């Protein structure tokens, strides 16, 4: 197994710090000041800074805040930027170009920094003197702001399509975060904003689906499970579209999928952040989040039955007799809820969590089919056939060593059309080199195959030849691992 270089270690530590910065800003903005979760987030932020110091990162650590992303030395930090809309907006309003963090930063000081950034009374650009006074007054010594000048900051290295996909994803995450905050405070949800961002996502998925789906896999800030819900919504839209949904139906399905976990915002912190294992009673409370979610949606001035159903039934199995919440009588889930359930479990299985690794799509399908009765078989089959062995947005390595992004399904489930990210052997793409390649077909004098699937933490060999899926020929492993111990 390859050892990471010192540069890679440093880059990862800086990304982790940016992640904690975004998470702290979100948490402190949502929680009451001094709340337990806010304190924990600020401590994690300081811990991440110490990790960056330990990795050899030069101090002070400067993070640039452009309107679309966080960057370090001109390199965009996409993973942390996907839920950074609020932080970036704060920075733009206050005229902040960059924040430099010194290694003496403490959680208390970090809390004061967040309070300064979140100060609703200061909704204008800082003047240098006023900023210096405010910093001194609040006792912030280990942090320096770099204010915007007329010259304009250096733009981070993002292509136009990635920038657009990031913007779309940030819109979705921000709308959901806003609604989670409103739900937690017992206020009416902003259903219009949820519909608007879903409407835009539908348009984007029609024009260029792979960019948004690929960006979605990079979201590393999943406090409040926002990223999970956004990805479930994108999956549901993708599958519903393939099922022939009209635009109006897509809007209903997408909104329902985006809000399916809204009930989690009402689970008390003493249960969520309890020291030690949950007892049966606490676990039962946690399992109430679908019912709580449905009730939040029922309290809205305009009630959306599809969203209510998906919030209530996304953990219900079969005809309403298994899963949770337990109802006094079986409630058969509607079609949208059954689709959301499939997307929900698939997303959980294929994403990395701090406590588990990601499965590949084929591995996740196999696991889900072990418990086929827990899902609507029609949706499960259709889901698998729609996404294929290499879903849109998947990162793959081809048999000539080039890396590529899956753009769309090809003629067979194992033959997608990909966009090259690098040339043969991982070299840079040559100018004018065609970057769209149909897998398994003669293209520019070459027939290329997918050699490996790259998950965030694994490289899985697909075997020598194409998979047998949908070809109905002999048994042949679709995916063969290169790493020992994972099978």
Partner 1 sequence: MLRDRDEKAEAELKAAAEARKEKLRAETAMSSVPQEIFDSTDPMLEARLTELTEDALRLLRGRGHMPSQEAISSLPLEPVASEEIAGFLHSLASRPDAGRPPLLEGIENEFFGVLIDTYLTARAAMQRRALNLLKDGLDLSPEAGLDRLTSDLVTTLASLGKKGSDERLENLCKQIATAVVVASPALGDEP
**Binding residues for partner 1 restricted to 252-311, rule: CB under 8 A:** 252-253, 264, 267, 272-278, 283, 286, 289, 291, 294-295, 298-299, 303, 305-306, 308-309
Q: Please select the residue that binds partner 1; options are 193, 382, 421, 443, rule is CB under 8 A.
A: 382
| CA proximity to 364, closest of 394, 338, 404 | 394
Compute the least distance from the CB of residue 423 to partner 1, in Å.
25
426: three-class secondary structure by DSSP: helix
Q: Please select the residue that binds partner 1; options are 34, 128, 244, 425, rule is CB under 8 A.
A: 244
Q: How many CB atoms lie within 10 A of CB 436?
A: 12
Using the minimum distance from each CB to partner 1, give the nearer residue, 368 or 420.
368
| CA proximity to 284, closest of 322, 326, 344, 248 | 326
Q: Please select the residue that binds partner 1; options are 67, 268, 332, 434, rule is CB under 8 A.
A: 332
CA 469 from centroid of its chain's CA atoms:
29
Residues 424-483 that bind partner 1 (CB under 8 A): 457-458, 467-472, 475-481, 483
Contact residues for 102 (Cβ-Cβ < 8 A; gap 6+): 59, 60, 141, 142, 143, 144
x-or-dash pattern for partner 1, window 68-97, by CB under 8 A? ------------------------------
DSSP string, 128-169: HHHHHHHHHHHT--SEEEEE--TT-PPPPS--HHHHHHHHHH
DSSP string, 43-65: HHHHHHHHHHHHTT--SSEEEEE
Using the minimum distance from each CB to partner 1, give the nearer residue, 163 or 397.
397
| CA proximity to 339, closest of 387, 405, 296, 293 | 387
Q: Where are the alpha helices (DSSP H) in 277-413?
A: 280-286, 289-298, 305-313, 335-350, 361-370, 377-387
Using the minimum distance from each CB to partner 1, give the nearer residue, 390 or 469.
469
Compute the least distance from the CB of residue 433 to partner 1, in Å.
31
Residue with tokens 């996740």: 364
Helix H or strand E segment including 419: strand 417-420
Using the minimum distance from each CB to partner 1, give the nearer residue, 107 or 391.
107
Using the minimum distance from each CB to partner 1, give the nearer residue, 103 or 208.
103
Q: Please select the residue that binds partner 1; options are 134, 153, 243, 429, rule is CB under 8 A.
A: 243
| CA proximity to 47, closest of 73, 24, 30, 65 | 24
Helix H or strand E segment including 452: strand 450-454
| CA proximity to 64, closest of 131, 163, 155 | 155
Q: Please select the residue that binds partner 1; options are 34, 354, 431, 432, rule is CB under 8 A.
A: 354
| CA proximity to 391, closest of 198, 235, 164 | 235
Residues 40-59 that bind partner 1 (CB under 8 A): 40-41, 43-44, 46-47, 50-51, 54-55
Compute the least distance from the CB of residue 432 to partner 1, in Å.
36
Number of residues that bind partner 1 (CB under 8 A): 116
Compute the least distance from the CB of residue 318 to partner 1, in Å.
13
Q: Please select the residue that binds partner 1; options are 29, 334, 423, 438, rule is CB under 8 A.
A: 334
Omega into 323 within 30° of 0, i.e. cis?
Answer: no
Residue with tokens 């990471």: 4
Compute the least distance from the CB of residue 173 to partner 1, in Å.
17
**CA 92 – CA 242 distance, rounded (Å):** 39
Residues 8-37 that bind partner 1 (CB under 8 A): 9, 12-13
Compute the least distance from the CB of residue 118 to partner 1, in Å.
20
Residues 98-137 that bind partner 1 (CB under 8 A): 106-107
Compute the least distance from the CB of residue 30 to partner 1, in Å.
14
Residues 142-181 that bind partner 1 (CB under 8 A): none
411 counts as binding partner 1 under rule CB under 8 A: no
Compute the least distance from the CB of residue 60 to partner 1, in Å.
18
Q: Helix 107-117 crosses helix 128-138 at what angle (to 10 degrees)?
A: 140
Compute the least distance from the CB of residue 188 to partner 1, in Å.
13
x-or-dash pattern for partner 1, window 189-228, by CB under 8 A? ---------------------------------x--x--x
Q: Please select the residue that binds partner 1; options are 114, 166, 213, 362, rule is CB under 8 A.
A: 362
């Amino acid at each position: 197994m390859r050892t990471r270089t010192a540069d890679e270690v440093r880059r990862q530590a800086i990304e982790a710090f940016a992640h904690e910065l975004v998470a702290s800003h979100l948490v402190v903005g949502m929680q009451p000041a001094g709340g337990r979760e806010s304190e924990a987030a600020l401590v994690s932020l300081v811990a991440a800074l110490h990790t960056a110091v330990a990795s050899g990162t030069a101090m002070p650590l400067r993070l640039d805040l452009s309107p679309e992303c966080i960057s370090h030395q001109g390199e965009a930090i996409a993973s942390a930027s996907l839920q950074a809309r609020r932080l970036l907006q704060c920075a733009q309003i206050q005229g902040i170009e960059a924040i430099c963090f010194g290694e003496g930063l403490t959680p208390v000081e970090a809390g004061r920094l967040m309070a300064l950034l979140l100060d609703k009374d200061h909704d204008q650009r800082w003047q240098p003197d006023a900023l210096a006074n405010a910093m001194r007054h609040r006792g912030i010594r280990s942090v320096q702001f770099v204010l915007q000048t007329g010259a304009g900051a250096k733009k981070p290295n993002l292509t136009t399509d990635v920038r657009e996909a990031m913007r779309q994803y940030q819109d979705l995450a921000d709308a959901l975060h806003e609604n989670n905050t409103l739900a937690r405070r017992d206020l009416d949800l902003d259903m219009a904003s949820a519909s608007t961002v879903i409407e835009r996502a539908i348009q984007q998925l029609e024009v260029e689906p792979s960019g948004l789906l690929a960006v979605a896999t990079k979201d590393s800030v999943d406090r409040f499970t926002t990223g999970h819900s956004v990805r479930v919504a994108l999956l549901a839209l993708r599958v519903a579209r393939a099922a022939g949904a009209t635009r109006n139906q897509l809007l209903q399905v997408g909104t329902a999928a985006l809000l399916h976990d809204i009930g989690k915002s009402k689970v008390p912190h003493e249960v969520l952040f309890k020291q030690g294992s949950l007892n049966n009673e606490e676990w039962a409370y946690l399992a109430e989040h679908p019912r709580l979610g449905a009730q939040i949606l029922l309290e809205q001035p305009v009630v959306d039955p599809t969203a209510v159903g998906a919030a209530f039934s996304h953990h219900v199995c079969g005809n309403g007799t298994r899963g949770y919440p337990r109802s006094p009588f079986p409630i058969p889930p509607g079609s949208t809820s059954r689709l959301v359930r499939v997307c929900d479990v698939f997303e959980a299985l294929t994403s990395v969590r701090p406590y588990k690794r990601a499965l590949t799509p084929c591995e996740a399908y196999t696991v889900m089919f072990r418990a086929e009765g827990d899902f609507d078989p029609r949706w499960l089959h259709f889901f698998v056939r729609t996404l294929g062995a290499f879903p849109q947005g998947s990162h793959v390595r081809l048999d000539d060593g080039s890396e590529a992004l899956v753009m769309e399904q090809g003629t067979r489930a194992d033959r997608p059309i990909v966009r090259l990210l690098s040339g043969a052997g991982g070299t840079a793409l040559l100018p004018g080199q065609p970057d769209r390649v149909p897998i398994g077909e003669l293209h520019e004098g070459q027939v290329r195959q997918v050699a490996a699937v790259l998950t965030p933490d694994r490289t899985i060999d697909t075997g020598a030849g194409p998979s047998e899926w949908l070809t109905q020929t002999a048994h042949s492993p679709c995916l063969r691992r290169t790493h020992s111990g994972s099978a």
